[in-house]
Amino acid sequence: MAQGAWLRRIAVEYPRRPVARHPARPQAHPPAGAVRYFYFPQLPQKQFYDRADFPWLDAIEAATDAIRAEWQAVGTGDAVYLWQNGELNEANAALCPQTLAALANAPLARIPGHSPSVLFSHMPPGTRIAPRNGPTNTRLQVHLPLVAPGQCRLRVGNDVREWQTGRAWVFDDSMEHAAWNDSDQARVLLQFDIARPELTADENRWVATLLEGIDAFPGQKLDWKV
């Protein structure tokens, strides 16, 4: 696709500028105005993706025990990053070689200054995460539960699922999502963002270039966090 045609497909929400949804899209997806920074229209609207579409998750799930052991070694905290906003945390990464090896074939999102982010996410018992929307629909989130004691759930749109140790899922965090831990133990995930499979390599590159341009504008750097 020529770059000019691609630019006609996209809509940049900056500042917050509503973009109309196609009437055929499922109502589980929020209005484009709920996506905080960048909205790419006409992408499929899926809350959770079919696990079978991501065969590279097999190697990651198979490494669950090794990844959990590295999480225990690297230290505690609500969020322990191996990659953060597109930059490798060399100290933490050095302690987690098997985790990074397991991710070798994952199509990590690549947006300078923003992605990838790879982290261990710790959710204490009794915690609730209020509904929110991610910054863009040009990436997806992956969760690999390392410790899932039960009664720990994620809602994406109107689909509620319970984390199960060693079973990964892929979801679109641009949709409204919320989480809760009603157990008496902590829930721990390996979490990372990947490129959307519906976008071509050129489209992903152009998205990254566009966002870099916004970041370069004085005082306008996009601030999103995983």
Question: What CATH code is carried by the domain that includes residue 143?
Answer: 2.60.120.330
Q: Over the Cα atoms of the chain, what is R_g?
A: 17
Q: What is the pLDDT of residue 220?
A: 62
Q: What is the mean pLDDT of the chain?
A: 85
Residue 126 in any domain: the answer is: yes
Question: pLDDT, tens digit, for every residue of 45-60?
Answer: 899 999 999 999 999 9
Q: What are phi and psi of 215, to 5 degrees?
A: -60, -35
Question: In the chain, what are the helix, strand and coil shares in percent, each to the nearest 5?
Answer: 25, 30, 45
13-43 confidence digits (pLDDT tens): 333 333 333 333 343 444 544 677 788 988 9
Considering its fold, how many domains does the chain have in total?
A: 1
Burial class from Cβ neighbours inside 10 Å (0-12, 13-18, 19+) for residue 1 reads exposed
Q: Which helix (H) or strand (E) holds 189?
A: strand 187-195
In a domain, 166, yes or no: yes
Does residue 22 lie within any of the structural domains?
Answer: no
Percent of the chain surpassing pLDDT 90: 66
Q: Is residue 23 part of a domain?
A: no
User: Residue 211 falls within a domain, yes or no?
Assistant: yes
Which of 49, 24, 22, 39 is closest to 174 using CA atoms?
Answer: 39
Amino acid 7: pLDDT: 47
Q: What is the pTM of this model?
A: 0.84
Q: Confidence band (pLDDT; 50, 70, 90) for 76? A: confident
Euclidean distance between CA atoms 122 and 199, whole angstroms? 31
Domain range for 226? 1-17+28-226
